[in-house]
């Protein structure tokens, strides 16, 4: 036994564990992350028994005790603890470690802890988890150890599937309420105190409209028919939705559509600021909720940026041949091609975490494009500015490494914006007629099916900005048999044996296509021309998508499932649960 460590007597264990938890309670009052709590809580080591010779060890009793508490809270094997410490620098830092202990370090240290010391640390772990839950640092759905003192063990004859479903229900109900509190609460219509309908009731209607792909009219009509007093009429519903998107003390007189285009665009910026402020706050809440699990701790964090369009089924012309446009056509609507057909709609850009991470939308930016029916000097957003704003949003929350973009973003200015941030970019080349000679050389070499062109210059204002790599790989589209796909990336000197791996990594961007399908499935119907309604609808649908992903993530963590496995909680089930939660809460 180490003479420097005083062994604890049995009666001291509850008192020592209680002292640790008491200090953890104080730490939880200011901490926003469980790791910070574990790093800052005081652990009196003279009450612990460690039989190692302290002058010979690299990791002292206190650091090994903190890791033991972390292991107990998360219910991890020694190998899992070692892997997490190896792969999560932030965790290492928060626990006060300057280097990574091996599994052997952990195993030996803990084998030298007395049974009494382990009992003390395990009691402290449970108490810390309870305090963290009660102070909203974590949700109990995230912690594998049992936080409910009165919970009875499941019957032995209960099937595994029944146990699993019970856990999903238990964790799901908790995190749906978490989603409601952290997401919807950030939207404030700023109406008078004597209002008849609370914001939550309006959001309840909106959630129901998202579930059924209904509308303000259908929800109001249903409330009237069913004599539900908490359901307002459709005009009140739409008025409050507009107020969610209107800044405090800002008045828009008359119809928005009657304003000049410059004024509409100016007001659009105000609407965007109001709605995005709420969305960003809700996103921050979501990430704070799951950050203690560090879901974005992959060594290579990838985001995807893309445009999507919400259709607007109205022709913009009075007479296209005579080039006479409709005077009050919504200025935020633009034309786009879909399967070769010209369509019209509102455009939104998003940035989303993809790959092996939780697919959360980190930023939304409404896009103003100049259309053929607008004046030559009509304002329009540049793609480089949009990407810059979205990267600003995303990098507030996560440390990005790479950005994947659609071929529509092929632009020297876009690439310069990303390169200047020290990030890697990758995107397909939309047309590669100039590269036919290079492709021909690939095809002429027997046994060679991929190639790379190094150090292709990209210039801004006539000056070399950076160089990039052009990758040539066989197209995977069956209809394009024998043709090649071309990608551009600013990676350093891609080697021949890396070409296919790098090109295949672009497939991670397809997460964003699935995301848009889900978001659009949440969109309620509306015929409103008021941009505030359209902007709020898309943003709220994106928030529902994030909250669904949050709920599914927390349920998977709570039931020990793979994060990237198929959803345990489907999007439709989630929206129904949110609607029910809102009605019960209201």
Same domain for 448 and 319? yes
The model's pLDDT over 72-90, given as tens digits with 9 standing for 90+, comes to 887 778 888 888 888 777 7
Sign of CA dihedral 542, 547, 550, 555: negative
> Cα–Cα distances in Å, from 193 out to 196, 197, 199, 200?
9, 10, 11, 14
Tell me which of 33-47, 73-87, 330-344 is least confident.
73-87
How large is the average pLDDT for residues 447-459? 82
- Looking at the predicted structure, is the pLDDT value of residue 38 above 70? yes
Residue 115 falls within a domain, yes or no?
Answer: yes
For residues 245 and 8, the model is more confident at 245
3-state secondary structure of 530: coil
Same domain for 282 and 371? no
The C-alpha atoms of residue 359 and residue 304 are separated, in whole angstroms, by 10
Tell me which of 187-196, 219-228, 270-279 is least confident.
219-228
Same domain for 93 and 234? no
How large is the average pLDDT for residues 171-176? 57
Residue 151 falls within a domain, yes or no?
Answer: no
Predicted local confidence at residue 396, as pLDDT? 86
Same domain for 102 and 172? no
The C-alpha atoms of residue 488 and residue 454 are separated, in whole angstroms, by 10
Same domain for 288 and 333? no
Which residue, of 506, 522, 538, is where some domain finishes?
A: 522
Predicted local confidence at residue 415, as pLDDT? 96
Tell me which of 41-50, 215-224, 259-268, 338-347 is least confident.
215-224
Tokens 């509306």: give the residue: 526
Mean pLDDT across the chain, nearest whole number?
77
Nearest to 550 by CA among 358, 367, 397: 358
- Looking at the predicted structure, is the pLDDT value of residue 440 above 80? no
Instruction: Name the DSSP letter for residue 478.
Output: G
Q: What is the band of 162 on the pLDDT scale with cuts at 50, 70, 90?
A: very low
The C-alpha atoms of residue 363 and residue 277 are separated, in whole angstroms, by 11
Predicted local confidence at residue 290, as pLDDT? 67
β-pairing, 333-338 vs 324-325, is: unpaired
For residues 484 and 333, the model is more confident at 333
Residue 341 falls within a domain, yes or no?
Answer: yes
Predicted local confidence at residue 359, as pLDDT? 83
Residue 81: CB atoms within 10 A of its CB come to: 20
Residue 147 falls within a domain, yes or no?
Answer: no
Q: What is the band of 408 on the pLDDT scale with cuts at 50, 70, 90?
A: confident
Q: Let me know if 88 is exposed, middle or buried by CB neighbors in 10 A (0-12, 13-18, 19+).
A: middle
Same domain for 459 and 328? yes
Residue 346 falls within a domain, yes or no?
Answer: yes
Same domain for 112 and 182? no
- Looking at the predicted structure, is the pLDDT value of residue 174 above 80? no
Q: How many domains does the chain have?
A: 3
Query: What is 32-87 written as a DSSP string?
Result: SSHHHHHHHS---GGGS-B-S-GGG-SS-HHHHHHHHHHHHHHT--HHHHHHHHHH
Question: Domain span at residue 382?
Answer: 293-522
Same domain for 126 and 200? no
Specify the DSSP element, H or E, that contains 287.
Answer: helix 261-290
Residue 154 falls within a domain, yes or no?
Answer: no
For residues 145 and 245, the model is more confident at 245
Q: At what angle do helices 261-290 and 383-397 cross, to 10 degrees?
A: 30
Tell me which of 140-154, 396-410, 515-529 is least confident.
140-154
The model's pLDDT over 99-126, given as tens digits with 9 standing for 90+, comes to 899 989 999 999 999 988 998 999 899 8
- Looking at the predicted structure, is the pLDDT value of residue 140 above 60? no
For residues 391 and 180, the model is more confident at 391
Predicted local confidence at residue 523, as pLDDT? 84
State the chain's maximal CA–CA distance in angstroms.
Answer: 97
Same domain for 469 and 399? yes
> Cα–Cα distances in Å, from 437 out to 147, 470, 471, 472?
66, 13, 14, 12
Which residue, of 522, 546, 572, is where some domain finishes?
A: 522
Specify the DSSP element, H or E, that contains 454.
Answer: strand 451-460
- Looking at the predicted structure, is the pLDDT value of residue 218 above 50? yes
Residue 301 falls within a domain, yes or no?
Answer: yes
Q: What's the CATH number where 501 sits?
A: 3.90.350.10
Which residue, of 522, 555, 570, is where some domain finishes?
A: 522
Residue 85 falls within a domain, yes or no?
Answer: yes
Same domain for 240 and 360? no
Predicted local confidence at residue 160, as pLDDT? 42
- Looking at the predicted structure, is the pLDDT value of residue 482 above 70? no
For residues 224 and 563, the model is more confident at 563
In this structure, what token pair is assigned to residue 56?
């010979």
Predicted local confidence at residue 141, as pLDDT? 47
Same domain for 190 and 63? no
In this structure, what token pair is assigned to residue 471?
């990758």
How large is the average pLDDT for residues 441-446? 54
- Looking at the predicted structure, is the pLDDT value of residue 506 above 60? yes
Same domain for 335 and 377? yes
């Amino acid at each position: 036994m180490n003479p420097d460590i005083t062994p604890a007597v049995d009666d001291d264990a509850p008192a020592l564990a209680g002292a640790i938890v008491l200090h953890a309670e104080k730490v939880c009052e200011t901490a926003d992350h469980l790791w910070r709590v574990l790093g800052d809580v005081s652990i009196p080591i003279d009450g612990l028994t460690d039989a190692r010779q302290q002058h010979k060890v690299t990791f002292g009793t206190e650091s090994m005790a903190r890791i033991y508490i972390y292991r107990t809270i998360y219910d991890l094997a020694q190998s899992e603890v070692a892997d997490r410490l190896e792969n999560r620098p932030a965790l290492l830092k928060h626990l006060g470690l300057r280097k990574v202990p091996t599994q052997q370090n952990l195993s030996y240290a803990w084998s030298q802890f007395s049974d009494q010391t382990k009992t003390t640390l395990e009691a402290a772990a449970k108490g810390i988890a309870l305090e963290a839950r009660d102070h909203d640092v974590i949700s109990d759905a995230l912690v594998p150890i049992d936080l409910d003192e009165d919970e009875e063990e499941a019957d032995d004859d209960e099937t595994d599937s029944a146990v699993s479903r019970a856990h999903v229900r238990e964790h799901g109900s908790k995190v749906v309420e978490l989603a409601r509190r952290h997401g919807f609460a950030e939207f404030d219509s700023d109406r008078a105190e004597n209002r008849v309908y609370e914001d939550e009731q309006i959001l309840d209607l909106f959630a129901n409209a998202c579930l059924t792909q209904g509308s303000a009219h259908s929800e109001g009509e249903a409330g009237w028919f069913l004599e539900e007093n908490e359901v307002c009429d459709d005009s009140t519903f739409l008025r409050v939705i507009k107020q969610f998107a209107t800044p405090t003390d800002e008045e828009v007189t008359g119809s928005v559509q009657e304003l000049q285009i410059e004024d509409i665009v100016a007001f659009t910026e105000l609407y965007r600021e109001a709605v995005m402020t709420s969305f960003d706050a809700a996103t921050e809440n979501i990430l704070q909720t799951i950050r203690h699990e560090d879901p974005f701790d992959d060594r290579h964090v990838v985001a995807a940026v893309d445009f999507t369009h919400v259709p607007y089924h109205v022709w913009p012309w009075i007479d296209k041949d005579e080039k006479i446009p409709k005077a009050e056509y919504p200025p935020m609507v633009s034309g786009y091609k879909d399967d070769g057909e010209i369509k019209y709609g509102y455009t939104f850009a998003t940035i989303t975490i993809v790959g092996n991470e939780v697919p959360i939308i980190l930023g939304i930016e409404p896009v103003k494009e100049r259309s053929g029916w607008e004046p030559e000097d009509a304002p329009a957003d540049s793609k480089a500015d949009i990407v810059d704003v979205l990267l600003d949003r995303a990098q507030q929350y996560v440390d990005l490494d790479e950005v994947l973009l659609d071929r529509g973003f092929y632009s020297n200015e876009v690439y310069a914006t990303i390169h200047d941030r020290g990030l890697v970019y990758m995107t397909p080349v939309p047309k590669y007629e100039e590269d036919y000679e290079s492709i021909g050389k690939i095809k002429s070499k027997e046994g060679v099916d991929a190639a790379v062109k190094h150090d292709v210059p990209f210039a801004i204002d006539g000056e070399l900005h950076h160089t990039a790599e052009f990758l040539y790989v066989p197209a995977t589209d069956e209809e394009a048999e024998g043709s090649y796909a071309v990608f551009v990336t600013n990676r350093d000197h891609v080697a021949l044996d890396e070409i296919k791996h790098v090109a295949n990594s672009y497939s991670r961007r397809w997460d964003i296509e699935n995301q848009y399908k889900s978001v659009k499935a949440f969109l309620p119907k509306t015929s409103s021309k008021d941009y505030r309604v359209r902007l709020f609808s898309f943003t709220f649908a994106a928030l529902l998508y994030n909250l669904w992903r949050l709920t599914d993530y927390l349920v998977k963590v709570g039931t020990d499932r793979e994060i990237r496995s198929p959803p345990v909680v489907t999007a439709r089930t989630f929206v129904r649960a949110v609607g029910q939660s809102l009605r019960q809460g209201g």
